Amino acid sequence: MARSTLPDPVPPDASSRGGAARRSVLASLLISLRPGQWTKNSVLFAGLIFGEQLRSPTGLARSLTAFAVFCALSGVVYLINDVVDREGDRCHPLKAKRPVAAGDLSPGFAVAVAVVLTAASLGTALWLGVEFALVATAYVVLLVLYSAWLKHVVILDVLTIAIGFVLRAVAGAVVVAVPISQWLLVCTVLLAIFLVLSKRRHELVLLADGAVEHRPILGEYSPYLLDQMIGVVTASTLIAYIFYTINPETVQKFHTELLGLSIPFPLYGIFRYLYLVHRREGGGSPAEMLLTDRPLLACVALWAALVVLIIYRPFAAWGAG
């Protein structure tokens, strides 16, 4: 294995970081909440779109509110995770710059903000409905358990993150009171596993011999093992999505067989992602890759636009009018 090129652990005292200017508390808090990662919560809109509620102002408003709730809860999880992992993050070339690890945000203040955000978010969730509040609570409890314990259990660390994505999808369906296809849930969990495994592989390659020092669970994996797992979930994800689009129940629900036209976009998107992971050393942050890689972003945008056009057929409605 290649020799680690990690820098020495970053001390928590900002004054020892080469004279770098200390970030303000507000700026540090915003960075720790990771708004760039909130795109992961867009899976909540699957219930709105595939539940045929996109034209409903009430449904759209409820989905947007639910999205805001999960963005806040995601921020809570990131804050807690940064507090728990602050020592290990100081051994990482990129994570050492996180405010808690760098000493710009105190652990106590981060936890206090997390408690306030949790109370406000779950209060809003309860206002949206008891079922939605239960799903939101399950999400934050699961991810807190991940930060405290499950991230140190091989395979369960990957599955926990994937279940978090499924809970987002379920929450998006519950908040607009629509059933969600089991096929879509299967696609969600498989795609999430694909992204998490790719992230694990990126960490192993980036950190080399220092991987275990940063995250002990990485010692249970190897690039070869992760490549085998990624191969399995890649094929499974694509097959599940193809079956969903051509399933008779899907055709009957949307009164069209055209959803199969969207199949090339997941194919290209996953292959593009694998290209970035293996040839461009990407995969450390799926949300960042989505926002910075134009071909990948265009693929997702075109897929979403095509799905909306097929399901809602706006041009047919205008013609009928």
Q: What is the pTM of this model?
A: 0.84
Q: What is the pLDDT along the chain (321 residues), one digit of tens a residue?
A: 444 444 444 444 444 444 456 778 888 888 888 888 888 899 999 999 999 999 999 999 999 999 999 999 999 999 998 888 787 777 777 777 888 888 888 888 889 999 999 999 999 999 999 999 999 999 999 998 998 888 889 999 999 999 999 999 999 999 999 988 888 889 999 999 999 998 888 888 877 666 666 667 778 888 899 999 999 999 999 999 999 999 999 999 999 999 999 999 999 999 999 998 888 776 667 778 888 889 999 999 999 999 999 999 875 544 344
C-alpha span between 244 and 237 (Å, rounded):
11
Query: Could you tell me which CATH class the domain 28-153 is placed in?
Result: mainly alpha
User: With contact defined as beta carbons under 8 Å apart, do 183 and 217 qualify?
Assistant: no
What are the residue boundaries of the structural domains of the chain, listed by start? 28-153, 181-312
For residues 178, 122, 63 and 240, what is the CA-based torsion angle, rounded to 10 degrees?
-60
